[in-house]
Structures are given as C-alpha cells and as structure tokens.
Structure 1
Amino acid sequence: IQFMPATARSLGTTIEELEKMTAAEQLDFVEKYFAPRKGKLLTIEDAYMAVLYPKAIGKGRDFVLFEKGSVQYKQNIGLDADGDGKITVGEASRKVSERLGTASINDVVELKKGDKGAAVESLQDEMIDLGYLTLEQKKTGAGTFGGKTESALKAFQKDVALKDTGVLDLPTQAALRQLNDGVKKGSSGGVVRVLQQKLVSKKFLTQAEMNTGVGVFGGKTQVALIQFQIKNKLEPNGILSDETFRVLFKTPAPFVPVSTNLNNPDINTVLPMDGEGFTTYNREPNGADQYGTALVINAIVALAREWFLLHPEILLQFGDISRKGGGEFEGHTSHKNGRDADVRPLRRDNRLDPVSVGEIAYDSIRTEELVKLILNRHPKATIFFNDQRLINKKLTQQAAGHHNHLHIRFS
C-alpha cells in the first residue's frame, strides 16, 4: 500500500509507519481514506479518480485531467492513449477498467437461466447485435433468460475464449463492455488477443507481428483489421464493431421470415443523398443501402428539418437503413424491415466525420439533445447508443458496437 507523505499524515500515520504494518493493518487506512466518499464512487473511473485526482470524481470519462505542457501531463504521458495531448478520466482509468471488467455498479449482477427482467432483455439485444440470437428467437421469450439465450451466450463465450458457462459473469461482462466501448488502437485485454488470433488465422496478421504485442491493439493490429474490413466491404475504420465482429467470427445470419422482411413492397422509398438539415455517409450507389418505408423516410426528413431549425451549424449524418424490399443486409442482423436507421453522434468541431463516445471531439450535449428530439417526436422508438450517461437516463440502450453511431428503431 502506497500513500503520498501528506496523505499518510492526513490519515494519522506516516509512510514509514505504514511500511512496518501488516497488509490487514494497511487496509484499515485504505478504508479510512475511502470512507468520506462512501456512496459517491459509482464507477470504476470514479474509484480510480479518488486515488489519482479526487477533483475529477463524478466528472465523467471525457473530463480532461492534464494537458500537454503541464508537469502532470509529462509525469503521466503514458496514459495519453490517443496521443492528442490530453489525458481524460477514461484514458487514465482504462487499464484498470479493462482488468476489473466493470465500469459501473449496475454491471456486477450475474444473470443466468431462469432470470427475468430488463437486464435480460438488454443481454438478448446484445446477442442479436453480435449475431448469436435472432429477433424471432427473442420474441419467444423477451426478457426471459431461457435456453436460447443461454445457448447464444455460450457460443459468444466460446468465441472470445471464455469458459462457456452460459452465465453472464464478470469476465463475460468485461468482454461485452470492451466491444461496446469499441476495441481499437490503444485497447488491451482478452478480446484484443482473440481478435489478433482471428486475424492471424485469416492471414491478415502474421504470428510474428502478433507476438510483438500479444493482447495489445497496436498499429500492426489496426492495419490488419482495416485490410480485413476492406476485403469484406465493411467500413474501414480499424474498430472491431459489431458488424466487423460478426463477419470476422463468421456468425451465421439469422433466419428472417419471407412474410415479414423479405421482398416487402412497402420498403420502396430511398432517402435522398442530402436534404435540409442532413447528409449521408458511406452511401452505396443510388442509395441501395438507404431504403425504408415511406413513413420512416418521411420521419427522418422531418426530423432533420426540425434539427436544422435548432442547429443550422451542423448536419445530421445518416447511414444504413435497409435494402429495397428488405431482407438480408450484409454486416447487419437488423436493418431488414425498413424501420432501422443509423445516424452519427455529433462532434464539437461540427465536422462531418465519425466520432465515438469517449473521444474529445464527441459532443455529448448536442447528441443528448438529438436523442431527446427523436424520442419526443417518436415516443415508441428505441435508440441503441453506448453513452453510459444517456443509458443511465434511460434515453438509450446499450448494444455491442454502438459507440460510434446511434441506431434508431422506429415503431
């Protein structure tokens, strides 16, 4: 146990006295240190900030601790994961969060067969997004942890080299959280190692390259992943998103009944490439990936028009919706019925570029405003987006890979 001299004195001891104590005696002083903050440390980040920088408690993952040019930054330069000259709470506590496998007190509850409730339904949605469960399977027992959910979870656990218990335990939560946060350059841990092994087996990464940083997502892993994405016609962003995960692990596409999703004449309206308050990104020729029902397309256009009245300084950016007629959509388990639409979160600099939760450029305030606007106009809509602050407010739901886009599911 290490304390700064001043901290030790404030606790009624000294570092010299602490060195002579047993571990149990030292832990008494650790308890004394944390006691005044009881009930306030609701995340791993906050707990770590209580040790590193108490003023940052409750400020969130994006709060900037140190900037380039300061003594503190120089002392902690290794924590600047993205090399932007700023160290945030999220970056400072990243390794601790990944090793402990949980970032919130709400995540430590294990789920198993027989359990019921919203947490189970959230798990089922995770399994759908990763391709281990179908929407039709979920409908047979939404919110109920039955045999199908257990089998899906076991398959996921096996794929990411975890013990396939079929229980949503802490290691499994850690793996899902890594995927939700976005496995990318700077990440480390179990999922990264499995990713590297997959890239080696598919000959996008050599074993020698992997051996230079096993379990560490560095430049070689990023290049290999981008090459894989390009070959498989995925967005070449170097991030292990849910779409990339499904293709990489060759998860079978879920069965979609012809009567509900395939050759649906109602899915016949394409979103314009640009319009008042919006534009599109990664659009296929003639908008082949941006078909929806007339009601949904009109809702998107109306939403963008209203957004433009509020924020003419930045356009909304819409991505995948559905194929004409619905049905299978490569890289997606949803986006089959003309009711799902992807939209990018907003950036602070107003650039029409991608951005992820946790990045300095991510504008959490205007993104929350967008979410509220959507739900105000479409109360029955569901939005999947991994901003923990919005999830805590019950505005969005967590889903694997949804750290860099909002997935709107219109009713």
Structure 2
Amino acid sequence: MRRLKKVAIAAALALSTSMATLPAFAETLTFVSWMKGEPGYGDWWNEVIQKFESEHPDVKVEMTKVARSEYADTMFTMFAGGTPPDIVHLAAFEYQSFANEGWLEDLGPYIKKSGMNLDGWAGQSTCEWKGTTNCIMLLYTAYILAYNEKLLKDAGIEAVPTDWNSLLAAAKAATRDTDGDGVTDVYGLGVDSSGGSNMMHDMLHFVLDAGGNWTENGKPAFNSPGVIEGLRRFKEIYTEGLTPKDAAAGDMRQLLVEGRIAMRLDGPWIWNVMKKADPAVRDNLKLAESPLNPPVGGTSNVIGMPSDISDEKKALVWDFIQVATSKDMQQRFATLGSSPAPMPGLDYSAEIAASPYFELFAKANDKASAAGIDRLPKGLELEFNEVTKLVFREVQRMLIDNLSPEEAAANIQTAVERIAG
C-alpha cells in the first residue's frame, strides 16, 4: 500500500509538472484519463477533443494517460494537492469520494441554463450525490445471457431459458459427469462465489428477479424478502454443484470458452471473450436476453469538473462536456466503442448491421436503465468495498455452516447498518 501511494504521488507530481509546462495557448484545459490510446473509447475521446478545439481555436486540451490501477490514488493526490485536472474523468464507483470532499462542481445550474435534456439518460441517477448533480454518465451496460447451444441441446434443452425456473432446470440438466469418473465435467451455470464486487453482481441477478435490491431508498435492505429469496437461489446453485465452487468471474469466462460451462450471465464484454474460443467451441457460443428480470445494469465512468477552478475555465469545461454529450458525439461513441451510448433515442441501424449482437445490448441497456438498476447500491457507495467483504463472510457461513438465507440476510443487515451508520 505504501509503495502504491508513493507511485500515485510521483505520478501526480509528474502530471502537475508537465501541466505547468504546457505550450502557450490563450487557454489550456488539462484532462487525465486511463482511456487515452485505447482502441474504441480512446479514439472517441480524440474526436471529442478535435471537435471541441475546432469550436475553440484558442483553447488546447492536453490529455494525459494514467494507468487504471493507479488512477484513483493519483487523482485523489492531485485534488488534495490543489492541482486537479480541469476536465474530470472518473469511474462511476469512485466519483462519490471526490464529491463527498466538495471537490466536484454542481452541474445542476449548467444543465438548467443550457437546457440539456437528461431524461432517459442511462445511469444518470448515479451522478446525483447529496442533492446535487456532480457528473454526467458516459457509459452504462446491462447484462445478457451467454450460453453454449450444443451443451444445452446435449442436455435435452431446446429452448433458451426465459425465467428463473427454466434457467434452473437448464442448469441442472446441463451439469454432467461426461466420462463417469465421479467428477463434474460440465457445469450448468457459471456464478462467481469468490467474494468481492463480482460475486455481489452475480448474486444481484437473483435478488432483482425476486423483486429485491441491496438497498431501498438509499437504506440497507439485505433482510428484505427479495434479497432472502436471491440468497436462497444462490445457495441452491452452489450446494447442488451447478457452478464451479469458489471460482471468480474470470475463471467462469475461461471455462465458458473451453466448453465446460453451459451458461453465464455477464456484461457485453463477454462477446469479445467468446471470440477467442477455439473454433469448435466458438461456433456453439451464443448470446440472448437475460432470463432474469430486470437484468443487472451498471454504470461505468463519468465526466465532471473541479469546483475550485476559475469561472472562465468552468465555462470552457462545460462546453467540452456539451460536446461529449451532443447527439453527434454520442452516435460516434456507439460506433467507435461498439457499445450503446447513454443518450436515448439514437439510431443504431449502422451499428446493428455491423455487429450481430448490438441490438441485444441496446435492448438490455434500455430495460435495465428504465428499471433504474445499478450494480453499485444506492446509499452504500462509500462503504461498498467493506460491504462486499462482510457479504462474502456471511454468505460463506450460509454455505459452509448451512445457515438459512433468513439468518444470513439478518446478519448482513445488522453488519451493514453498523458500518453505514
């Protein structure tokens, strides 16, 4: 941890020094991102910058890359040291700490004055923090079902599951010992049980479908009927051996492309993973709508501005944000990023023609966004890392000590209330 902080401080100092020696323009806006140079999203940022600079010929946007692994610590050091970048790019799960320090400008007045319409903007509610709008959502993704068509057909399952009961039935049928040695060779459903945020995301599928959520109106709701039922479903899948035990999400994706897992609920990124499978397996890998309703959805990254830069710079940064959120650039976001943009009502005809599953991704996004779903539980943003640890602890007790889902839910609720205050 000490070494990481030293790296973050060194990176922040290097950035601050480089920003102080930028070439002379009437004005220069500094911009730090982990996406610089990335195919797709990095290309999109380049186009946003080019369009902004064409509309502001005397202003230069200086974009600097910081690795994602060092990003939050580096940004925190820059803000704490009074040298934040002018254009703020953060992950959707980390901006809350910066907003909580008062470091991010309230964008509400800018949105109102400009007439920006954010109705239906996917994931935008996550940018609301303590009554203010501190950012604009840049990416929202929803989960879909990845499945091996051959494994399901070999198990006698002809139709893709469309609800919890058919999903469970298919998982049971597809879980098999194919060579008779007493060891399961094919698992019906890949679910993360290794702890951390991915395990909570995987459990959330069952919770949402049962009518629950981790929080209600920003308050912990781990002892609610929907969460209890979600825990029961998770326990059933685990204890009946329908999923590899104590394996992480990455392991599940690998087993999917190896032809050893029949189904996996995952984000649209699974499509790129599937493409890497051996041709004999890849031809059987398909995507479909999540059989669980509503599907899990998740916010990814946001844009905002610091609260302590000059009014002149704030006006320029807001212009930059308006370019990034304009219809033209949102359309380009979808094209270059191969992912639906948060702006509603875009024409995806070209993207659908170019990608076999783009329409599926867009439909899933609309469904999850309309239901107001986010993987990050509202009201527990600052405590989420600690929450994932105690959820794992109590779920382990449920599985190993055979606690009932009701007991596990009550234990989680008590522990979360203690840390959330």
What TM-score do the two structures reach when normalised by structure 1?
Answer: 0.26
Higher share of residues assigned helix: 2
What TM-score do the two structures reach when normalised by structure 2?
Answer: 0.26
Higher share of residues assigned strand: 2
